[in-house]
Amino acid sequence: MSYTAPVDEFRFLMDNVIGFQSLRDRRADETTEPDTVAAILTEASAICRDILAPLRRSGDTTPSALENGLVRTPPGYRDAYRALADGGWMGMTAAPEWGGLGLPVTVSGAVHEMMSGACLAMELNPLLTQGQIAALSAHASDEIKALYLPRLVAGTWAGTMNLTEPQAGSDVGALRTKAVPASDGTYRITGQKIYITWADSDLSENICHLVLARLEGAPSGTRGISLFLVPKFLPDADGTLGHRNDLRVVSLEHKLGLHASPTAVMEYSDATGWLIGAENGGMAAMFTMMNDARLNCAIQAVGVAEAAFQQALQFAQNRKQGETDGPTGAIIEHADVRRMLVWMRARTQAARALALSCAVAIDMERETGAANWAARAAFLTPIAKAFCTQVGVDVAQEAIQVHGGMGVIEETGVAQFLRDVRVSTIYEGTSGIQAMDLVDRKMRDNGEAAFALLDEIEEQAEAARGTFPEIATKVWDATENLREATEWILVQRNLNDRFAGSLPYLHAWGTVLGAHFHIVSAMAEGPDSPRAALARSFVLRQLPAHQGLLAEATVGADDLFALTPEALTS
């Protein structure tokens, strides 16, 4: 199936909806100027259409494979990687001093959404490298920066992140990988890591692993974790690659989806590594990479949702079945099929606006250092990660339904969207972890960031009453419901009472924010526009779900813990 990047949609959101003008005013450089952004998005869309999109199905049916200790990627992936590297896409957000483009997170996020819609398995590779660039830029020594950053930016070398271990799962603090200082200032890393995306490939000359490990005598838990850079091949001071490091790919995981993206079990046996950041400061350094990855998980899922919708729409426009009142006899003329397509479109656009609004907050925090932008970015990140990834899963699922029986036939390719995007709700912190973070850490300001955002939504709803009285009133009322639930959460001292309803609470936030962004879009385009019609559909059909979500969010935990494990089996 073909893929068309929604370039006009990105431009509309940046110009009218997500507050990107604040960043333009602050930076006042060409990286945010409309013509420059349009040129970047247009060029990226061509690469996604012509180079990446054709690899989605072929990489699924001919996956990456481990052969004699080396990972071989599917046909076409090396050429695609080189096109991305030569085009400068590996270093989109990297500083120009290292050869990067210095783009805002918002612009790079739009590009990553396109890449994800075209071929998510391929997009994961530059995403990880860019995350490593950010971590090294913030925490590495000058010598490490000078050696690694230009090569990572150029795509000559690639980057990964190594957190998870078999016995630890999401509890990173339970890791067993150890680091021992060597006499030359390096460290010897020993341990096993799992779920390492793009841990090895034949795309780049060197692969650089950021590995969490514990020094002897370090405190237990996450307070005693350090971060190390462990390359596949050890470089000389001038970047010439020397002998292979003591690390290996044990096996590749057999996954539900993303078959072209090799996910490995990695073994480190006294491998040489370099400390990044301070001893026992590994989690703080790694979070630089992880927070970028959490937002990008949201963006990836929106990209898959867009691609799944496009295929479902094309199928519905061409599939003729049953009697309709329309002129073509295609199934898109059936009310239920039209309902599914409108639901998919409205939900995808709401999620896209949420993810990019979070990106703007991150950009503004980095530009200004202001506490209000930092709080907004921190508050929106778990919402975007959990809500948008669920949107990706839901829209991909609905695309299968639009196809009917053909949806479960692999040759149509639509089931792949669901298989590929499903993991997005799990990696970089499951949806439940994001939700618990939202009602705990993100509420330690006594709800200040939450209430500021609620005030903003209500202010916009009030401004829209004259043009859209019906839906503006519903959004205002929903915001008040969300405010009351937030107040309830803040007075709960037993964290389990917060946690038991944290995910429904998070999804209520995503739903209300989605309605908010739809109204902003409708106001920008006018009352008789397609965006106004889409906003009305979202508010009338999807916003009411917030009531059930908030009802569940404020029940507490007593009913859950009243049932013992034994009772659940009876």
Give the integer Cα–Cα distance in Å for 477 and 310. Answer: 33
Secondary structure (3-state) at 199: coil
Phi first, then psi, for residue 470 (nearest 5°) are: -65, -55
Give the integer Cα–Cα distance in Å for 98 and 133. Answer: 10
What are the structure tokens assigned to 311, written together? 């295929």
Residue closest to 17 by CA, chosen among 110, 141, 147, 153: 110
Q: Which of 428, 459, 484, 487 is catalytic?
A: 428
Which stretches does DSSP call E strand in 44-135? 65-67, 70-72
The 10 Å Cβ neighbour count of residue 340 is 20
Residues 6+ apart with CB under 8 A from 28: none
Secondary structure (3-state) at 358: helix
Secondary structure (3-state) at 527: coil
The 10 Å Cβ neighbour count of residue 70 is 11
Whether the CA torsion 561, 566, 568, 570 is positive or negative: it is negative
Say if residues 311 and 413 touch (Cβ distance below 8 Å).
Answer: yes
Residue closest to 490 by CA, chosen among 560, 443, 423: 443
Say if residues 156 and 204 touch (Cβ distance below 8 Å).
Answer: yes
Say if residues 352 and 260 touch (Cβ distance below 8 Å).
Answer: no
Q: Amino acid identity, residue 21? A: Q
Secondary structure (3-state) at 263: strand
Residue that is written with structure tokens 């072209």 in the block: 260
What are 229's strand-pairing partners? Answer: 210, 274
428 noted as active-site residue? yes
Q: Of all helices (H) and strands (E), which one includes residue 494?
A: none
Q: Pairing relation of β-strands 178-181 and 187-197?
A: antiparallel
Q: Amino acid identity, residue 111? A: V
Among all residues, which ones are annotated catalytic? Answer: 428
